[in-house]
Amino acid sequence: MTKTDMKVFEKLESEVRSYCRSFPTVFTKAKGYKMWNEEGKEYIDFFSGAGALNYGHNDPVMKSKLVDYILNDGVTHSLDMATAPKAEFLETFNEVILKPRNLDYKVMFPGPTGTNTVESALKLARKVTGRTDIISFTNGFHGMTIGALSVTGNSFKRKGAGIPLQNVVTMPYDSFVNDDLDTLEYLERFLEDSGSGVAIPAAMILETVQGEGGINAARFEWLQRIESICKRWGILLIVDDVQAGVGRTGTFFSFEKAGIIPDIVCMSKSIGGYGTPLAITLIRPELDIWDPGEHNGTFRGNNHAFITATAALDYWKDETFEKSIQEKSERIYKFLEDIVAKYPEIKGEVRGRGFMVGVASEIEGLASRVSAEAFERGLIMETAGPNDEVFKLFPALTIDESGLEKGFEIIENSLKAVLGTKELVGN
């Protein structure tokens, strides 16, 4: 293989490209929590495809099953026709995930992207209730197509729509104003006062931990009150588990520990297991009033992804995997708390839950500089938040102790390097 010139992308790919600017090298190989570039340089991946690679890169069991399937000329693309891998996925998902959690959902395949599952959820909520408005939350992120973008908070992304985004009311997420202020008291006043200008919406849509919005974890009691408000007013509750789901926060669904049961759940990213495109929308059976074909899409029947997704569910057949996530996540959390304590000058705050954590710093530009330094040192790590004020740790859930430690070391060294060269200016 000859070396690829990064200029290829500059010359031929649209200006919209972004991660290849933060991580400017050409990757060729990946395995578990590691990636390699063309020159063979190794990187520790604390990014994991923004949550699409919870099982790491190229898991050997999934890989083997996928290759077998392809070699046997299994159906690759089937729209929403019936195939054996789809049946197997449906049954396994039901047996391994839904039943043990006492959940009863119909599975919809809406096209293999996060934005598509969100769009399908919003449509269905509007159809079921006959209402038009959706309540979304500050710093929520749900996708880039117009319906999903309407419920996304980020102003830069919203402006990209080029049209006013409608039929949505944004309410304050947990701790939005400050940690003491009860944001749900506001929300309820808006609902109960018939002069508030806010109509009872079709649905509320939220992430239990906000990823792009800055690794904000809603408290369980806040989520529980949201659920009870929804019930009281006949509002559907949609949990967007695209990023926080599939174990990222410590349990398969991010909402399990809060003890709530959403009406609709949106999943994508790691549901395919191997980085293979797949999305599902889970629907309480009573709400599944779609007419056939009312929502569709060409790649909703991606059998390669069914194969890997089914294989991935093996991780959930007993509690071993879940326990290991929770144990390791304590280690990660402790590392971050130590960092914040040790370097008070970064004015840091640890945020998040499980393997979805980060440090917000009041020092402008610090998170981006730490991330850039880390990349130089062989670690891939993203920033998040409205002002990129958070550096975000998203290792594969399958990472081992040694991988974590190496990553931590790079992060701390990067932070030191940044602190050594920069006059810090707090916000």
* 150 forms part of the interface with its own copies (CB under 8 A): yes
Cα 226 to the center of its chain, rounded Å: 20
Within 208-227, the residues that bind its own copies by CB under 8 A are 213-214
* 108 forms part of the interface with its own copies (CB under 8 A): yes
State the binding string over 285-314 for its own copies (x if CB under 8 A, else -). ---xxxxxxxxxxxx--x-x----------
CA 368 to each of CA 22, 77, 120, 360, 383: distance values in angstroms, whole numbers, following the listed order: 9, 40, 34, 11, 6
Within 160-189, the residues that bind its own copies by CB under 8 A are 160-164, 166-170, 172, 176-178, 181, 185-186, 189
Nearer to its own copies, 49 or 378 (CB): 49
Nearer to its own copies, 303 or 415 (CB): 303
* 58 forms part of the interface with its own copies (CB under 8 A): yes
Nearer to its own copies, 252 or 335 (CB): 252
Q: Judged by CB under 8 A, which of 44, 96, 121, 148 binds its own copies? A: 148
State the binding string over 333-372 for its own copies (x if CB under 8 A, else -). ----------------------------------------
- For the CB of residue 341, give the shortest distance to its own copies in the complex, in Å: 27
Stretch that binds its own copies, among 58-66, 325-333, 348-356, 401-409 (CB under 8 A): 58-66
CA gap 301, 304 in Å, rounded: 9
Contacts for 155 with CB less than 8 Å, ≥ 6 apart:
386
* 1 forms part of the interface with its own copies (CB under 8 A): yes
Stretch that binds its own copies, among 192-200, 220-228, 315-323, 356-364 (CB under 8 A): 192-200
* 126 forms part of the interface with its own copies (CB under 8 A): yes
CB atoms within 10 A of CB 413: 15
CA torsion angle for 59, 211, 21, 28 (degrees, to 10)?
Answer: 0
Within 229-258, the residues that bind its own copies by CB under 8 A are 242
> Total number of residues binding its own copies (CB under 8 A)?
153
Q: Judged by CB under 8 A, which of 46, 55, 113, 370 binds its own copies? A: 113
Phi, psi of 343 (to 5 degrees): -120, 70
Nearer to its own copies, 44 or 415 (CB): 44
Contacts for 195 with CB less than 8 Å, ≥ 6 apart:
none
* 67 forms part of the interface with its own copies (CB under 8 A): yes
Q: Give 299-302 contacts, CB < 8 A, sequence gap 24+.
A: 299/77, 299/111, 299/112, 300/79, 300/80, 300/109, 300/110, 300/111, 300/112, 301/77, 301/78, 301/79, 301/80, 301/81, 301/83, 301/86, 301/109, 302/77, 302/112, 302/272, 302/276, 302/277, 302/278
Residue 360: HSE in the Cβ half-sphere, 13 Å Cα cutoff: 18
